[in-house]
Chains A and B, each alone.
Chain A
């Protein structure tokens, strides 16, 4: 018969407590920090953008150029409202402005607007089927790239090649599974936000 204090090493907590029947002990193992769901994905997005910008044309084709921060600007407001996330979305936008040579604020405006609108409509959107989410993602992309075309027109006075916009939107759509992964991983992971 096992007695308290006879538990194995694997079941010992970091604090050395043998038995912790408190509710928070169960919660503590499920607490996610901003690093987990904001900073780490943001860094992955930056890394992906840099990697896909490599001057490399396999079999004569260019590498795709998806707007990977749009995935985060779509998923983060659905996971939970956050004070840090809008700043990180803005920082990712500025990174794209600098890295891709766009006018300053070009990508930032579109990304932050997407985040803001979805944060407002969050309560209506969470818990939907993935098909509904996918439709919503396509609608978001349509509005996002529409804003980009409009801003490019304001900036240069010329309409960009729309087929190129469709190509970039398609490459971004291929990253939709990452939205589902983020939602699956973080939407219900922290009971403090239920």
Chain B
């Protein structure tokens, strides 16, 4: 019997639509849940973001198109501002130049002193870091993800993990790279953790984002290590960020938690600089380290202790035990250094303090070696058998 519009084979086969739709919903939910459980965004690794590079490349294009008029209008507005307020701006800048000139002279002087100290101490200074300038084209700023897309990528040697700064301070780090677009994980993102230091007290802390504009300071140790207004810098611990990047200043939140007022929030984030900083923690390859030969195979065997032959000078030096003692640092201290009784150490120190400086006495082993034949027999060191006295009730 044929009736209705369609005369197909499954015309009378009717599924309860609501339940069929729920089946589709369940299917999509299961797929999403599996993807969510398999995602490793919290680890902030290059592989976790690798599958997003293609999307960022595509998404970067409309964002660039949309950002273009915004940037042009912004530049035009700035031009108008500069033109109409040039006199006031000039007056301010002159005052600023006069003030900064003093700082410049001081900086040159301090830099010269610092370079002398570095040479004296034979310090290995860090090489200058190359930078790439880029412009922000898109931003996601919700509580669950704080990211930015910038219009520069691997074509400009940007790599995963490079720190991103503005003229004000630290912004974040690169977590996704495509040829022309990169994704920046902001320091305010909930997955962001930046090791920082407080400039005044040199205390260390971890700055953790929570999706807001004021990241938290975690693991703050020490009394008065943080005060309101303290300057926060990147500490360089862990090697992801270089040391000394300005981050912000400490403020206490309404929840009585130390937070950071970010310098990068002082103005709109438009132009950014990507530091092509090589994360030193990424340089050694874990597999290479595990396959490395043991130290005993690489280094030459340890040298035998040098023993001075019995000469007239050695005999004469036997009267000077201070010289004899230093001939073999590996053996001599074990032989010459008496093992003080720990229980009596305190009293010995106090007695020596009372009786004045103790002159080193020549020990029998050293003096015997001085009169020994030319090729002395080396014997393994056996610690002297000292009676073990376990004081009962000693803490």
Contact = CB atoms under 8 A, between A and B. Distances in A.
Interface string A100-137: 11111110110011011001101000000000000000
B59 A158 contact: no
Interface in B183-221: 183, 185, 190-191, 208, 210-212
A185 B156 CA distance: 50
A55 B21 contact: no
Interface in A69-127: 81-83, 85-87, 89-90, 93-94, 98-106, 108-109, 112-113, 115-116, 119-120, 122
Nearest to B27: A86
A158 to B, nearest CB: 5
Given A56-B67, A120-B18, A156 B42 contact: yes
Nearest to B24: A86
Given A54-B138, A158-B210, A164-B211, A90 B144 contact: no
Contacts of A53: 63, 138-140
B141 interface: yes
B25 interface: yes
A100 B25 contact: no
A25 interface: no
Question: Most A CB atoms within 10 A — which of B21, B63, B148, B176?
Answer: B21
A53 B36 CA distance: 23
B28 interface: yes
Could you tell me the dominant secondary structure of chain A's interface residues?
A: helix
Interface residues of B, number: 55
B253 to A, nearest CB: 10
A63 to B, nearest CB: 9
Contacts of A113: 29
Contacts of B32: 90, 93-94, 104-105, 108-109, 112
A54 B66 contact: yes
B22 A120 contact: yes
A164 B142 CA distance: 7
Contacts, number: 162
Contacts of A112: 25, 28-29, 32
Interface residues of A, number: 54
A155 B42 contact: yes
A90 B212 contact: no
Nearest to B18: A81
B315 interface: no
A160 B139 CA distance: 18
Question: Most B CB atoms within 10 A — which of A62, A89, A105?
Answer: A105
Given A55-B136, A116-B22, A151-B36, A100 B28 contact: no
Contacts of A89: 28
Contact of A50 (B66, B148, B176, B183): B66
Contact of A109 (B33, B52, B183, B190): B33
B142 A100 contact: yes
A122 B18 contact: yes
A85 B59 CA distance: 24
A105 B34 contact: yes
B141 A65 contact: yes
Contacts of B373: none
B36 A116 contact: no
A18 B177 CA distance: 62
Nearest to A85: B21
Question: Most B CB atoms within 10 A — which of A54, A55, A93, A98?
Answer: A55
A50 B141 CA distance: 13
Contact of B144 (A81, A82, A100, A108): A100
A99 B141 CA distance: 11
Interface in B129-147: 135-145, 147
A101 B52 CA distance: 9
B210 A108 contact: no
Given A55-B139, A148-B144, A157-B42, A163 B25 contact: no
A102 B59 contact: no
B118 interface: no
A85 to B, nearest CB: 8
Interface string A152-182: 1001111111111101100000000000000
Nearest to B143: A164
Contacts of B269: 55
B228 to A, nearest CB: 20
Nearest to A91: B28
B141 A161 contact: no
Contact of A168 (B21, B143, B148, B268): B143
Given A86-B21, A108-B28, 19 more contacts: A50-B59, A50-B63, A53-B63, A55-B139, A55-B269, A56-B70, A83-B20, A86-B28, A90-B31, A101-B41, A104-B32, A104-B36, A105-B39, A109-B33, A112-B32, A119-B18, A152-B190, A155-B39, A158-B208
Ranked nearest first, the 8 interchain pairs of A and B with the lowest CB-CB distance are A105-B36, A164-B143, A101-B147, A161-B212, A108-B32, A116-B25, A105-B32, A103-B39
Interface of B: 17-18, 20-22, 24-26, 28-29, 31-39, 41-42, 52, 55, 59, 62-63, 66-67, 70, 135-145, 147-148, 175-176, 183, 185, 190-191, 208, 210-212, 268-270
25 contacts: A51-B66, A53-B63, A54-B66, A54-B67, A55-B67, A55-B135, A55-B137, A55-B139, A55-B269, A65-B142, A81-B18, A83-B24, A101-B41, A101-B52, A101-B145, A102-B144, A104-B32, A108-B28, A108-B35, A109-B36, A122-B18, A152-B143, A152-B190, A161-B210, A164-B142
